[in-house]
């Protein structure tokens, strides 16, 4: 794995999923949607401080290797000659639909299922652009796997736990919409880069 790619995933020593989670939480607070309160983090696992979940990130990276190998390093480069935009869109749609069953069995709960799946699909689109770019830049699937673990365990777990708990929580759709803002910004930045379509 190239060291410069790993360093590029950090801003001032802060891993980007943590930075994106901080932007999402700051946005929620600025919009008056959330009063900063970190107490819900302690509810992630009984007897384990909430901040300790973040420490599990590198340990769980191999769990996400399978998905990233399948979607990002195998499927995406074979679609549309590996051209970034169309291959990332189709891969993102397939990846999203692969994750729909949990919404039908109650693992992910959306009060309005169609709206929830639509928002979730959009979120997968932005994530796939970022993960594909990381894979292409680094030349290894481990970089995308680490980012995938970061998104799931830091960005979505952290923001979901903090923003959707309590009576005034934003709910799954609201939290997903807020997390999409930094993901969309990063995806748009990637789309403007020269040579982003190299497979």
**Whole-number pLDDT of residue 8:** 42
Give per-residue pLDDT as tens, 89-113.
999 999 999 989 988 888 777 888 8
- pTM to 2 decimals? 0.75
Tokens of 74: 């195998």
Nearest Cα neighbor of 67 from 183, 151, 145 is: 145
**Whole-number pLDDT of residue 72:** 86
Q: How many of the other CB atoms lie within 10 Å of CB of 51?
A: 12
d(CA 132, CA 190): 10
**Whole-number pLDDT of residue 69:** 86
Spell 1-29 as b/e; 16+ CB within 10 A means b.
eeeeeeeebeeeeebbbbbbbbbbbeebe
Give per-residue pLDDT as tens, 23-59.
888 888 888 887 877 777 777 667 777 667 666 656 7
Q: How many of the other CB atoms lie within 10 Å of CB of 79?
A: 16
Over 50: is that where the pLDDT of 13 sits?
no
Q: How many of the other CB atoms lie within 10 Å of CB of 134?
A: 25
């Amino acid at each position: 794995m190239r060291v410069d790619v790993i360093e590029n995933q950090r801003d001032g020593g802060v891993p980007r999923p943590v930075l994106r989670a901080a932007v999402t939480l700051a946005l929620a607070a600025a919009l008056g949607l959330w009063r900063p309160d970190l107490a819900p983090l302690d509810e992630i696992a009984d007897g384990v401080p909430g901040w300790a979940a973040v420490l599990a990130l590198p340990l769980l990276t191999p769990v996400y290797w399978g998905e990233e190998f399948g979607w990002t390093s195998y499927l995406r480069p074979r679609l549309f000659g590996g051209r970034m935009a169309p291959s990332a869109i189709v891969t993102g749609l397939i990846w999203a639909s692969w994750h729909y069953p949990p919404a039908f069995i109650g693992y992910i709960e959306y009060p309005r299922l169609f709206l929830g799946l639509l928002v979730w699909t959009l979120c997968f689109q932005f994530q796939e652009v970022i993960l594909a770019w990381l894979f292409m830049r680094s030349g290894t699937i481990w970089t995308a796997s680490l980012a995938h673990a970061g998104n799931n365990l830091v960005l979505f777990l952290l923001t979901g736990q903090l923003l959707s708990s309590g009576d005034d929580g934003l709910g799954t759709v609201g939290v997903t919409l807020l997390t999409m803002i930094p993901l969309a910004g990063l995806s748009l930045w990637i789309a403007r880069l020269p040579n982003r379509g190299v497979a």
